Amino acid sequence: MIQIFRYECKRLIFNKFFFGILFILLFYGWQVLSNTTIFGVSHTAPFSAWSFGDYLSRMLPLLWIGALFFLTFFTSAKARRVAILTNATQTSPRRYAAAQCAAVLVVTVLLAVICLAEAAVFYGRYFGWYAWGDLLAPAIVTLLPPLVFALGIGWLLGRIRPWLVYLGMAVPFVCMALPLPEALSLWNGSFFTEYPLMLGTLDPAFSLPMSVGAMQGILLACGIVLLICKPEIKRL
């Protein structure tokens, strides 16, 4: 299984799409940092948890697309034909799918870490600021639940119809266009620009309303369940 995992990781990383999405992420991320984050959001410092969270929420749609596109390597019609051969080997299909899923997760995390590293370079270069421990909470809350959920729902959609994965790529953009309730405000980025103003203090410490934290926890749990259980789906 480890050999399969390593092979799938190499296959995902050493391809044109990975380097293409990486270039787009770095270019767009630097534009956000130098044109929006540098001024701070909602009267907070550029290196506050709120400004950093706003940066991550703007990067999230691209990371979501990347995660789902990596899944198409294993859910496409071509991948289904190859699966017929791999299922005939001694390796259990369930373990093979687990290795593929782990590879997608690792590569998605790699892209997310690169986004964090870009912000670290930006903060160090322009502000000489390196207190990254203060930004760990917004990074986990903003990125982990939606990306795990994206992978879980992507596996589900891919088993129903491969093309549904591509429709799933539009979800973060739809969320950004909708006036979502507070519990889902992390999904359109409004949480980082609106909630600190409601706290009534200048540059407040990072905190989450119970509704927002609960919703992120539910999404994370749903993503994990979908990745682990993988129930049998009858194709439409």
pLDDT digits (tens, 9 = 90+) for 44-66: 999 999 999 999 999 999 999 99
Q: Could you read off the pLDDT tens digit of each residue along the chain, which spans 236 residues?
A: 688 788 888 889 998 899 999 999 999 999 999 999 999 998 899 999 999 999 999 999 999 999 999 998 887 766 555 554 455 455 566 777 788 888 999 999 999 999 999 999 999 999 998 888 889 999 999 999 999 999 999 988 888 888 899 999 999 999 888 888 888 898 888 899 999 988 878 788 898 999 999 999 999 999 999 888 754 444 44
Long-range pairs for 172-178 at CB < 8 Å and ≥24 separation? 172/60, 172/61, 172/64, 172/65, 172/146, 173/61, 176/61
Indicate whether this model's pTM tops 0.95.
no
What is the longest distance spanned by two Cα atoms in the chain? 63
- In angstroms, what is the C-alpha Rg of the chain? 19
Residue 131, classed as helix, strand or coil, is coil
The answer to whether 86 touches 93, Cβ cutoff 8 Å, is yes
The answer to whether 189 touches 119, Cβ cutoff 8 Å, is no
Check residue 182 and give left, alpha or beta (phi > 0: left; psi -120 to 50: alpha): alpha
Q: How many Å apart are CA 4 and CA 24, to the nearest integer?
A: 29
Q: How many Å apart are CA 81 and CA 87, to the nearest integer?
A: 10
pLDDT of residue 84: 47
The answer to whether 71 touches 158, Cβ cutoff 8 Å, is yes
Q: How many Å apart are CA 189 and CA 180, to the nearest integer?
A: 10
Count the alpha carbons within 13 Å of 161 in the hemisphere toward its beta carbon.
6
The answer to whether 184 touches 149, Cβ cutoff 8 Å, is no
* Nearest of 231, 49, 65 to residue 142 by alpha carbon: 49
Residue-wise pLDDT for 90-126, tens only, equals: 556 677 778 888 899 999 999 999 999 999 999 999 9
pLDDT of residue 221: 95
Alpha helix (H) ranges present in 128-209? 136-160, 164-168, 171-177, 190-198
The answer to whether 198 touches 127, Cβ cutoff 8 Å, is no
